[in-house]
Amino acid sequence: MVTTSQRMSRRTLLSGALAAGAMPLLTNAGEGRDPASLKPIDVKIRMAFNDLTLTATLYDNPSARDLGSMLALDLRIEDYGRNERIAYLPRKLTEKGSGPFSNEQPGDLCYFKPWGNLALFYADYRWDGLIWLGRFDNDFDPLLVRGEYPVHIERV
């Protein structure tokens, strides 16, 4: 027969084991959330469309590394709203390590989780569902050109 104290110790042991197993998940859950904490990686990309070229540096998070693994890509870039250009990827990126971030600014390269597209911002924005992938290195004026064009994205 199992006594009450034995039952309690089994529960305590089981609870402790579950908590210990969940700890690494909680530790990594915030990874990639704060752009200020993200570091650039040595992956630069080039986007060429309509005889214009942009370069961007990707940041160190699982989604940006996943994008880098897909390159080179031939997609279509199009207008969306009054602050961004978008391009649909052939498949969704991993969302591991993603989460809300602040400090959004023009020149950000993001991934919009619900639709599975790249979002290239040339004006102020604030939107949920984005993963910060990186920043354009210098001038992002080519994003101001309106219209839909084929875009080639490759590693530099």
Residue-by-residue pLDDT tens, the chain, 156 positions: 555 555 545 554 444 443 444 333 333 444 444 545 566 567 899 999 999 999 999 988 899 999 999 999 999 999 998 999 999 999 999 998 677 777 788 999 999 999 999 999 999 998 888 999 999 998 899 999 999 999 999 999
Q: Which residues contact 22 (CB under 8 A, 6 or more apart)?
A: none
Measure the CA–CA gap between 143 and 148, rounded to whole angstroms.
Answer: 11
Phi, psi of 139 (to 5 degrees): -75, 135
The structural domains of the chain, with segments of one domain joined by +, span 1-30, 35-155
pLDDT for position 17: 42
- CA-based end-to-end distance of the chain: 70
Task: Classify domain 35-155 at the CATH topology level.
Answer: Cyclophilin (2.40.100)
Tell me the pTM: 0.74
